Amino acid sequence: MYLGNYNKIILSLECATKLIQNMWKYKQVGLIVFFLSLLMTAKASPTTDQDGKLNVTDEKGRKQGKWIYYGKDRPDSGVPANGKVEEGKYVDDRKEGIWIKYHTDGMTPSLKGNYENNRPKGQFTRYWANGQPKERGNFEKNIYKDSLIRYYENGQPSYQGKYNEIGKENGKIRYYYPNGQLEYEYDSNNGVISGKAVRYYENGDIKEISYYDASGNQTKSEVKDPVNPMVKVKDPGQSKEKAPAINGTPKTQGVKWSPNGYNKVYNSDGEIWQDGEFKNGALWDGKVYVYDSDGILLKVKVYKGGVYHSDGQL
């Protein structure tokens, strides 16, 4: 039994001892007998004390307490048999508290996030395969809330923004180059760009100034030449990740499939999976929707020119 449970037991015994001493002081013999009988018949709750055991189910077959899924439990995950796929706590068969999901090496976390009643809710952090943070924010009901920051694989921020209660960008939004230099900034009002927006060259000089009305329509734009010597920003690594291959007959819900054109493709559960322009039967410019094992939308991956570009807004 680990130390946390041991400390809890010691505290519980101390409280019980003091309670019995107070009962004895006031000659409450009947209450003492009743209390001792409760202590003798009480059983440990599987959600708080599993005697060091993992993957416990109760008498109703519900998952309780700490669970760890390994590659051998989920052969389709691509994780080695003894590597971890995910781990966390269940309460009455529902995910609760912090859950950790792992990259295909089975050791490096890919996601740490809070669950409430089997749904992601609260703070989360996604990680690159090298262990660096990839994205930090708050997530609830399949939408971002409050602040969100994304990082390049080299640790530099790539995006900073704020989101309102309905998951729309709201406030100052900033994009950065891999060297930390500001690339683009604008103000958003409920997901609509408004007012002044500025783009920058890699050396920090202003590249373009644009103005937008309240509806998000551009009313004016001025492009500027660089003033100072240009800076060559080292790309942290061009993605070579292609969109998932579509095997067999694509599920398009009755709409004619076009190998070279726009399509919406659905997964076996009828959820939107790929959406965008296709070339030779593969997604070229569009989005891939990623779900967890419970069918909860985790993120939207944007593909440009046939390769992964960034994560998009849910």
Q: Does 157 score more than 90 pLDDT?
A: yes
Task: Please check whether residue 78 lies inside any domain of the structure.
Answer: yes
Whether residues 208 and 63 share a domain: the answer is: yes
Select from 193, 223, 253 the last residue of a domain.
Answer: 223
Whether residues 306 and 253 share a domain: the answer is: yes
Mean residue pLDDT of the chain comes to 83
What is residue 303's predicted lDDT score, i.e. its pLDDT? 87
Select from 197, 223, 249 the last residue of a domain.
Answer: 223
Tell me: the pLDDT tens digits for 249-303?
999 999 999 998 899 999 988 899 999 999 999 999 889 998 877 777 878 888 8
Whether residues 170 and 273 share a domain: the answer is: no
Task: Please check whether residue 244 lies inside any domain of the structure.
Answer: yes
Task: Please check whether residue 4 lies inside any domain of the structure.
Answer: no
Whether residues 65 and 177 share a domain: the answer is: yes
Whether residues 144 and 270 share a domain: the answer is: no
Task: Please check whether residue 29 lies inside any domain of the structure.
Answer: no
Q: Does 197 score more than 90 pLDDT?
A: yes
Whether residues 258 and 204 share a domain: the answer is: no
Q: Does 159 score more than 50 pLDDT?
A: yes
Select from 158, 189, 223 the last residue of a domain.
Answer: 223
Task: Please check whether residue 63 lies inside any domain of the structure.
Answer: yes
Whether residues 210 and 309 share a domain: the answer is: no
What is residue 27's predicted lDDT score, i.e. its pLDDT? 54
Of 25 and 206, which is predicted with more confidence? 206
Tell me: the pLDDT tens digits for 170-191?
999 999 999 899 999 999 999 8
Q: What percent of the chain has pLDDT over 90?
A: 54
Task: Please check whether residue 166 lies inside any domain of the structure.
Answer: yes
Whether residues 203 and 146 share a domain: the answer is: yes
Task: Please check whether residue 158 lies inside any domain of the structure.
Answer: yes
Confidence of residue 42 (pLDDT cuts 50, 70, 90): very low
Sign, CA torsion 102/107/113/119: positive
Whether residues 200 and 255 share a domain: the answer is: no
What is residue 47's predicted lDDT score, i.e. its pLDDT? 40
Is residue 173 within 8 Å of residue 185, measured between CB atoms? yes
Q: Domain range for residue 267?
A: 239-313
The CATH number that applies at residue 109 is: 3.90.930
Number of structural domains (the chain) is 2
Tell me: the pLDDT tens digits for 73-102?
999 889 999 999 999 999 999 999 999 999
Of 305 and 125, which is predicted with more confidence? 125
Of 210 and 35, which is predicted with more confidence? 210
Whether residues 71 and 170 share a domain: the answer is: yes
Task: Please check whether residue 276 lies inside any domain of the structure.
Answer: yes
